Amino acid sequence: MSEATNLHQLFDEQGQSPWLDNLRRNWIQDGELQRWLDRGVRGITSNPSIFQKAIEGSEDYTEEFASLLAAGKSVEESYWGLVTTDIEAALALTRPIYDESNGLDGYVSVEVDPGLARDREGTEAAARVLWDTIDEPNLYVKIPATAEGVPAIQQMIAERRSINVTLLFSVDRYRDVMEGYIAGLEAAEGDLSAISSVASFFISRVDVEVDKRLDAIGTDAALALKGKAAVANGKLAYVAFQETFSGPRWDALVARGARVQRPLWASTSTKSPDLPDTLYVDALIGPDSVNTIPDATLENFLDHGTVARTVDMDVDDARAVLADIAALGIDLDEVAVQLEDEGVIAFEKSFSSLLDSLAIKAAELQA
């Protein structure tokens, strides 16, 4: 057993699960991923941008890619083959955590084709293919929380498929997602204990956009609010989580084995040099939650992060911050819509760019 770290303390003392927001094949092969698990990481998330960096940034995938092409697979089919190999290897490494925690942690997340973010039926079909192909209980299929994605999420839960809901920016949309999760559980048959879900609420990107608007206003009152919107938004999301998973309706599902859909704080690396580098970990710690953290931020938190319950502290102050921002004319609902659109476009661009790169590599291999 490795020496206890503050990642272990985060879970043991505060009930929050730290996950790693990155995945690379060489980490699987050289033991780096296992070392992260030994240091207290309890799950892994990926997205199209992560796979773009991993596959374009190394030759670790070339041999398998060539084999897939030789077997008659298309470039896109080969991409999914490469992804599946990495996800299955990571699932094997995290399976002991899944078993030991009785299905609480030990998950690895893989996202559906980001081009389907506005296509409910396409999302459902793609999620079924990923879930059935990989066929491991500790898999999360990621579905964006777009207006079209929410009913797809509900349907997947009703079909007993565990889902990581991604690209959440507003508390209102988060409430829609939690309602979809509960309705999906109500439609599912039998014992519910094997169905799991997290809702990935994005943090730092909110500050990036809001701070840009505060800078444009430029008054002392506006500048004093910089770096505060994202944490305040997350704190109110946690309040919504606590409110939703309580009461008679939820208790009836708990009696059937249901688990809460834990909020997962995503996009938790600090983008501004003016803010503490562990801000979005330190400020959102609390029970029944997850924080998926890029490796550089994990290293910073291991070195000098603070383990203390913070997510439901100073909630009135959080409300006041968001009210002050709104009073300056910044529409946080409009910000959320913009960030959702930008997130979908960014993942689509990563996916498309990677397929283009693989097509060039395929031509070189065939030559």
User: Domain of 100: which CATH number?
Assistant: 3.20.20.70
> Which residues, given as ranges, of the chain have pLDDT below 50?
none
Is residue 210 included in any domain, yes or no?
no
CA atoms of 147 and 168, how far apart (whole Å): 11
CA atoms of 105 and 122, how far apart (whole Å): 28
**Which pLDDT value is given to residue 367?**
79
Is residue 71 included in any domain, yes or no?
yes
CA atoms of 52 and 349, how far apart (whole Å): 10
Is residue 42 included in any domain, yes or no?
yes
Determine the residue type at 200: S
Is residue 57 included in any domain, yes or no?
yes
Q: Is 53 a catalytic residue?
A: no
- How many domains is the chain partitioned into structurally? 1
Active-site option among 142, 228, 235, 361: 142
Q: What are the two backbone dihedrals, phi and then psi, of residue 199, each rounded to the nearest 5 degrees?
A: -120, 110
Could you list the residue range(s) of the whole structural domain that residue 267 is in?
Answer: 6-204+234-310+343-366
Is residue 138 included in any domain, yes or no?
yes
**Which pLDDT value is given to residue 2?**
66
Is residue 328 included in any domain, yes or no?
no
* Tokens 């596959």 -> residue: 55
Q: At what angle do helices 75-100 and 48-56 cross, to 10 degrees?
A: 110
Classify burial at 183, counting beta carbons within 10 Å of its beta carbon; exposed 0-12, middle 13-18, buried 19 or more: middle
Is residue 216 included in any domain, yes or no?
no
**Which pLDDT value is given to residue 182?**
98
Is residue 285 included in any domain, yes or no?
yes
**Which pLDDT value is given to residue 3?**
84
Please check whether residue 148 is in contact with residue 123, taking contact to mean a CB–CB distance below 8 angstroms.
yes
Residues in Cβ contact with 7 at an 8 Å cutoff, skipping those fewer than 6 apart: 18, 39, 40, 41, 298, 301, 302
